[in-house]
Chain A
Amino acid sequence: MSKKEDFVKFDKVDKSYDGKVLVVKDLNLDIEEGEFVTMLGPSGSGKTTCLMMLAGFETPTNGEIYLDKNPISNIPPHKRGIGMVFQNYALFPHMTVFENLAFPLRVRKISKDDIDKKVEKALSMVSLSGFGNRMPGQLSGGQQQRVAVARALVFDPSVVLMDEPLGALDKNLRESMQYEIKHIHESIGVTVVYVTHDQGEALTMSNRIAVFNDGKVQQLSSPDKLYEEPVNSFVAEFIGENNTFAGEISDISNGSCKVKLDKGEIIANPISVKSVGEKTTVSIRPERALINPKDKMDNNQKGIIEEVIYHGDHTRVRLNLLGNSEFILKVPNSSQNLDIKLGNEINIGWNGHDARALDPK
């Protein structure tokens, strides 16, 4: 089976609720068949609106959405054949688990034997065999969530949408459910569009992540690329932890640049800057900066420890470095002999390649 490249396609989609503000602006997004794509962004960034437009509960103000090459803007939700998992599960409280799962099959007039078989299969997929006769109210949050996932998959939809499905669960359960949903996706190969504001969730589960902000996709790429190579300062800031320096380009050549800060100068990797004199925000991941580096590095600076927080597997150290008192370092607990004490001065080094000069904030 060859995978279709643009199975779900948003083509120049705009959305406005009140005719004054665009919630989604000029959205272009291609999702491959069988892919797990996450829409990640802060609340109010337009990600849920996109999902609702795909499900058919909102209509695009402009542009068109294609599902398997067919425009779907004028198709009502119940004819789209898209499964959906809602934030609050939306299980039918007056039906048993079995009836909940059988509902999409019954409205499709599938024979009773097939319904029994399919429901049983779906229940075993989410490891809830034997729970068919329970009412949703008798299940725990995690079990309800799994029923909701099973119900969205039981009628073999081509696309499944998930709207912050794990938001109401506690941390441990949320993590195990992340793996469970990922495994279900891998085993049945359905296309999943997932919405969350939790970056950890997005990084764990997705093939690709679309980072939303201000109604626009800021970056669409695989989790590792998103983390390692953010294309702008919003993405760098939003995904993972990030140390920043605001400055001005003083020299640029051969894939490297010099950034003049208020105090001192650093070597950085020019990503979205082109000429001398441009304002920029330099972004460095905490784990790329080393304490007392043995090898020679492009940047070597001295910083004063202002705060030490013990986190179990690592220690967070906040430094005052080059006038930035929010410079964070993560020191693994195995690193010994380091003199990490409040007020000490330590050497910090990082390579120019890891310091990405992005757009100014």
Chain B
Amino acid sequence: MSSEQKILSTDGIPLEESLKQAEKKNKIKAFLLVTPLLLFLIITYIIPIADMFSRSIDDKMVTNMLPKTYKAMEQWDGKELPQEEVFEAFYLDYKILVENKTAGRLQTQLNYEKNGFKSVLKKLARKQKKFEEGNYKEQIMKVHKRWRNVDYWRAIKRRAPAYTYSKYLKGVDMYSNEEGKIVQVAEDRRIHRILWSRTLEVAFFVTLFCFLMAYPIAHLLATLPMKYSNLLMICVLLPFWTSLLVRTASWMILLQQQGLVNDFFVWIGLVADDNRPEMMYNKTGTYVAMTQILLPFMVLPLYSVMKTISPSLMRAGKSLGATPGVAFFKIYFPLTIPGIGAGCLLVFILAIGYYITPALVGGASGTLISNQIAYHMKSTLDWSFASAMGLMLLTGVLVIYWIYNKLVGVDNIKLG
């Protein structure tokens, strides 16, 4: 029979079609069943990410506030002070903003671009009420001498495009300078790069510590008799049932300088009473608290994989002449790799975006990039910068996921 020949059902309809018809109802039912979840995902996940992205590159606010100015600036080459028409356009735009009481936003935005711009603009807002018609260039320059500085006009011009990637540059301590070249910020102001590398470092070590501690626990859980393993499982899960804040707060009680751990060290004579080590408000505190909090995420995938490994495999290895060590590394360990991969990926991704714990116990040297994002969300209200850093974090996680997929294969992940 040739492969091209169509197979017909008993009624003479091509088999493929009749199969489609027969399955149609079920497919619609299945789709309807997942629709709520799909909508939920779109509303709570895809739309916010899209919104974040548009916020992070959106620069329309300034563009819309100074429409005439930018139109007039199109001709300006940016080398010397702009012509009278630019000054006039700016005066007209700014007047409307001041009248509508929305000038504050422009002041804030331009101040990001050039420090000290805010005070200059505020002064102009006060003085321009008395401006006479005509020769605005002279009148504006009289208000403040900085208006004679071409840098301030360049700062305005830089905000002309409706879209910008400057927030992303700022996230890695770079900016495009007056000539439009991308350069690094001054050495003493490079804080984001330190935060990025510290975030990666903390996430890496927390993952490592979690792995080293979780592996024996998971092995014990998988091999102990039922009644003991249930108890141990409850001990592992107990932190899960406690509020994250409570757990972090209890670490603060334990780790502070007059805390229980320090008291114990003094009591056993490990450290002198007047020389208690700082275990909190630095990286140590972040490591200790985050490792404890993320431990269950490593234990559970490891446990679910180890549970499926038959104990007779190790016995077989030993009966074939392998020492317990060789049997472990050649037989048991390779079989747990799917669990290790899943656990490490889970802990690493959770750790890289961790916020509350570093904020509470991290101090200055233990804060991470997410604390910086929160700072810009809540304190500086630079939401576009916060969105840009959030997206950079998300991209970083996706890259790690991609690398992991290349190395181990996502199909090998077992979350239990």
Contacts and interface: CB of A to CB of B under 8 A. Distances in A.
B321 A107 contact: yes
Interface stretch (A64-72, A80-88, A247-255, A345-353): A80-88
Contacts of B334: 94
Contacts of B310: 88, 90
A159 to B, nearest CB: 11
A55 B321 contact: no
A107 B312 contact: no
Contacts of B322: 78, 103-104, 107
Contacts of B323: 78, 107
Interface range for B: 10 to 19
Contact of B319 (A78, A91, A92): A78
A93 interface: yes
Contact of A93 (B326, B330, B335): B335
**Highest count of chain A CB atoms <10 Å: which of B316, B320, B322:** B320
A107 B331 contact: no
Contacts of B398: none
Contacts of B335: 93-94
Contact of B321 (A78, A94, A161): A78
Contacts of B317: 92, 103
Contact of B312 (A83, A86, A104): A86
Given A93-B335, A103-B330, A107-B326, A88 B318 contact: no
B86 to A, nearest CB: 72
B315 A107 contact: no
A274 to B, nearest CB: 47
Interface in B380-404: none
B313 interface: yes
Interface in A131-185: 151-152, 155, 161
Nearest to A77: B318
B324 interface: yes
Contacts of A91: 316
Contacts of A81: 321
A94 B321 CA distance: 18
> Of B316, B327, B335, which is in contact with the most chain A CB atoms at under 10 Å from its CB?
B316
Contacts of B330: 103
B331 A104 contact: no
Interface in A33-72: 55-57
A79 B313 CA distance: 17
A83 B320 CA distance: 6
A196 B315 CA distance: 19
Interface string B330-341: 110011000000
A104 B322 CA distance: 7
Contacts of A78: 318-324, 327
Nearest to A87: B312
B227 to A, nearest CB: 14
Given A87-B312, A107-B326, A77 B331 contact: no
A80 B315 CA distance: 13
A76 interface: yes
Nearest to B314: A90
Given A57-B315, A86-B316, A92 B321 contact: no
A103 B320 contact: yes
A90 B321 contact: no
A10 B67 CA distance: 100
B315 to A, nearest CB: 6
Contacts of B321: 78-79, 81, 104, 107-108, 155
B315 A90 contact: yes
A236 to B, nearest CB: 34
Contacts of A152: 319-320
Interface in B147-181: none
A78 B322 CA distance: 6
A108 B320 CA distance: 9
B385 to A, nearest CB: 48
Contacts of A76: 318, 324
B317 to A, nearest CB: 7
A104 B315 contact: no
A92 B314 CA distance: 9
B312 A90 contact: yes
Listed residue (A56, A93, A151) with the most chain B CB atoms within 10 angstroms of its CB: A93
Contact of B320 (A56, A88, A104): A104
B320 A155 contact: yes
Interface string B288-330: 0000000000000000000000101101111111111011001
A55 B315 CA distance: 9
A77 B319 contact: yes
B315 A86 contact: yes
B336 to A, nearest CB: 10
A107 B312 CA distance: 18
A76 to B, nearest CB: 7
A175 B326 CA distance: 36
Nearest to B327: A78
Nearest to B308: A93
B331 A55 contact: no
Nearest to A57: B315
A155 B322 CA distance: 12
A195 to B, nearest CB: 14
Contacts of A88: 310, 312
A306 to B, nearest CB: 47
A90 B316 contact: yes
Contacts of B319: 55-56, 77-78, 80, 82-84, 152, 161
Contact of A84 (B316, B324, B326, B331): B316
In this complex, the member of A57, A88, A103, A151 whose beta carbon has the largest number of chain B beta carbons within 10 angstroms is A103
Nearest to B330: A103
Contacts of B313: 90, 92
Interface string A241-284: 00000000000000000000000000000000000000000000
A111 to B, nearest CB: 16
29 contacts: A56-B319, A57-B315, A76-B318, A77-B319, A78-B319, A78-B320, A78-B322, A78-B327, A79-B321, A80-B319, A83-B319, A84-B315, A84-B319, A86-B315, A88-B310, A90-B310, A90-B316, A94-B334, A103-B322, A104-B320, A104-B322, A107-B320, A107-B321, A107-B326, A152-B319, A152-B320, A155-B320, A155-B321, A161-B319
Which 6 A-B residue pairs are closest in the complex by CB-CB distance?
A104-B320, A90-B316, A84-B319, A90-B312, A77-B318, A78-B318
Interface of A: 55-57, 76-84, 86-88, 90-94, 103-104, 107-108, 151-152, 155, 161
Given A55-B315, A90-B315, A103-B330, 13 more contacts: A57-B318, A76-B318, A77-B318, A80-B319, A81-B321, A86-B312, A92-B313, A94-B335, A103-B320, A107-B321, A107-B326, A108-B321, A151-B320
